[in-house]
Structure 1
């Protein structure tokens, strides 16, 4: 299966941040997760809601980049909005672990200098992507996890919330269903969570099919010719033993390098880690001279598929070339370049 989008031009970079004369002033590509996303399982209202959310993400990024803001700023700003949108598996819409907790992972990377930050297993930071950026800019480390990451977040003045802030009835019901399937006990309802509410059966079925490995991500190109990438997730429904996927792993779920491209991934994290999907795509562009789409397709359509992994990526070069590739029936995705019209897509048969 092949799903592609390529910007109108493609060049081989000769220097970090180098731009072709006809490259766009800025560009954006975003995703909201990949999986078994099919028209037959989507109501018109749900379809419209996801498209509206992706359109808002592009508008947010455009406002940052059009005013001369940095790619890093655009990535963080868009992802914080996703983290507050309960439709997506990040932040407030995150799935629950088998212990009945929301454990959040995120990473961000700057293509200018390969600086990066990441966090894993945080439970009380409203915006994990902002914490990842703080790790990058205000600590000597690249990754922090758990309690230590939350202590650092408080020291940095980031917004700390009660864990119940992340609760959504739909995700709780999905966790209960998955634990029942696994024969595991249902944990107590989180303290401070609202009372039980009815959940649409169609939404639960959709969650089980499409969002088990949901993620959000952004790659941005700014007017200075720099790329940046970021990814944020709640992980997998009913995950156990402190499981961490690819989203906070630099080179697996997120990578950015002005010499090649930026990539954000979504899918079955264990395979993306083993294949180092994000950095592998960038290496194919930089060292083998592949165009962006060819590199993304080789890794996703050939190598990932051969391993039995599922998911997809969005990617962007400093020359403004945009690509996405996924081996699942659908992926929430959108792109826009300066002077162009936004493109939003969900299903596999859309360009």
Structure 2
């Protein structure tokens, strides 16, 4: 498998990063022994590092994300492409989707506006993710002003595949390319059928004169857990975000079933917007016997402390424990200057704050998020899960909700996704899943250094994130959360010396 990419002549101001997922579900050490985990880890590390190298060399986020997912589609360990699960009827029907956005739509590469494309009921295209990408790019051939037929964003079926083979030179593969013996055994086991119709019979039914290209060893059938959707979220050097997602669906799903992966807003999402960033004065709380809860005797001070506490969190109270489900330890976003004049149609009106006798303008910042989900697709559909996360970020505040907190609210333990299962939680697989994502926040102006009273850990993180240095690259913040046994995810995090290292996780704790 070879790909060619058009790369810009120079790199942009952002530090490229990415996060991958390889499915979520009822994972445990009992069904994920060390040797099997090692196989997953090896694959994910390889795909992570290869894709990061592409991003570092200037490859656009969309190309890099699709490349990562195409690698996953060729790996039988994962439920997508080759290795997809079977439907109830014993067929394979794949789905894939892409979506792009940009924290700086004016910057290269062009066309960083929010848009998406998805494909479903795919049977013989080697890389469904590349078919979804071609659907997304189809309208670009005439500057995005094409007719209705080139502006569709959700397509399916045989005619779509034939268009991809004929017009886009995508690779076609026979049914047996996608079949794996392990997925077939999962299919038979789930239907509670006997062994009268084996995998060899399935292969022979297509071509009686060909030998099976698959291994006969089925010793790992019971050990390999049936994983869900795979996905990649990438940030390139120009601040463009892309999400690519691919799946074979649910084991023994009804033929013709459409899941969350090709449904915009349910299993994938990318969005950017401009929001107000009001400077909250840094007030050092002082103990006072005169303060009371509720309608206190000092309502103005109470209001200041309340807003400051919401904005600065643990920095005002360093003794407060962190959230038990902190998704990742990677570097949070850097707030740095950006040219976004084209997205400021009206000047900001002056605003008077309760702690000031004068007016000051409301500062603006650009913000972007991109996410990919995996798990019980029907639950993601009913909740419109990833769009709900984005809405929590965009429509809250100021101060606004971080992507990490919004993801936890929806798909973390006891979150909205889990609660959507009601009393069926833990019995049917309903509500199980996880979300990965990247958040980028780009301020118009540099943030000032913390005041002397700020907690030592906040000073340390400010330096690490590069807030006080305009020479450092702007960063994205990778996040993830899940409510089930495990979520395969791969990303980069800073080690103790400040060097980024590739990391693979499956449980909340280290394997």
TM-score range, shorter chain: 0.7 to 0.9
Q: Residue 148 of structure 1: CA displacement? A: 2.3
Distance 1:128 1:98 in 2: 21
Is the helix fraction higher in 1 or 2? Answer: 1
Corresponding residue number in structure 2 for 1:299: 410
Q: Residue 218 of structure 1: CA displacement? A: 0.6
Q: Residue 198 of structure 1: CA displacement? A: 3.9
Is the aligned partner of 1:189 residue 2:202?
yes
Q: Aligned Cα RMSD in Å?
A: 2.3
Distance 1:181 1:35 in 2: 24
In structure 2, which of residues 468, 475, 483 is the aligned counterpart of residue 327 of structure 1?
483
Is the aligned partner of 1:313 residue 2:313?
no
In structure 2, which of residues 138, 161, 165 is the aligned counterpart of residue 150 of structure 1?
161
Unmatched segments (≥5 aa) in structure 1: 1-22
Corresponding residue number in structure 2 for 1:266: 374
Is the aligned partner of 1:58 residue 2:48?
yes
Q: Residue 317 of structure 1: CA displacement? A: 1.2
Q: Check conservation: 1:75, 1:219, Cα contact below 8 A.
A: yes
Distance 1:248 1:298 in 2: 23
Distance 2:114 2:506 in 1: 31
Larger Rg computed on CA atoms = 2
Corresponding residue number in structure 1 for 2:242: 228
Corresponding residue number in structure 2 for 1:166: 178
In structure 2, which of residues 79, 87, 100 is the aligned counterpart of residue 89 of structure 1?
79
Residues 111-260 of structure 1: pairs in structure 2 closer than 5 A: 111=101, 112-138=112-138, 139-154=150-165, 155-180=167-192, 189-190=202-203, 191-192=206-207, 195=212, 198-207=216-225, 210-211=226-227, 214-259=228-273, 260=368
Unmatched segments (≥5 aa) in structure 2: 1-12, 102-111, 139-149, 274-367, 422-430, 442-475
Q: Check conservation: 1:217, 1:229, Cα contact below 8 A.
A: yes
Q: Check conservation: 2:20, 2:233, Cα contact below 8 A.
A: yes
Distance 1:219 1:101 in 2: 29
Distance 2:232 2:395 in 1: 24
Distance 1:132 1:186 in 2: 33
Q: Secondary structure at the match of 1:261?
A: strand
Q: Residue 280 of structure 1: CA displacement? A: 1.3
Distance 2:438 2:381 in 1: 20
Q: Check conservation: 1:258, 1:318, Cα contact below 8 A.
A: no
Q: Residue 227 of structure 1: CA displacement? A: 0.8
Corresponding residue number in structure 2 for 1:19: none
Q: Residue 305 of structure 1: CA displacement? A: 0.7
Distance 1:226 1:152 in 2: 28
Distance 1:331 1:204 in 2: 19
Corresponding residue number in structure 2 for 1:13: none
Q: Deviations over 1:179-225 (max 9, x none)?
A: 1269xx99961514854854535433533xx42xx110011111101
Q: Secondary structure at the match of 2:152?
A: coil
Q: Deviations over 1:34-87 (max 9, x none)?
A: 011112222322111100111012112111110011110110000000000000
Distance 2:133 2:478 in 1: 24
Q: Check conservation: 1:60, 1:77, Cα contact below 8 A.
A: no
Q: What is the TM-score of this pair, normalised by structure 1?
A: 0.86
Q: Secondary structure at the match of 1:203?
A: coil
Q: Residue 237 of structure 1: CA displacement? A: 1.0
Q: Deviations over 1:308-327 (max 9, x none)?
A: 21100101012411110000
Query: Structure 1's 39 and 148: CA in aligned 2 closer, same or farther, altered over 3 A?
Result: same
Q: What is the TM-score of this pair, normalised by structure 2?
A: 0.60
Q: Check conservation: 1:27, 1:337, Cα contact below 8 A.
A: no
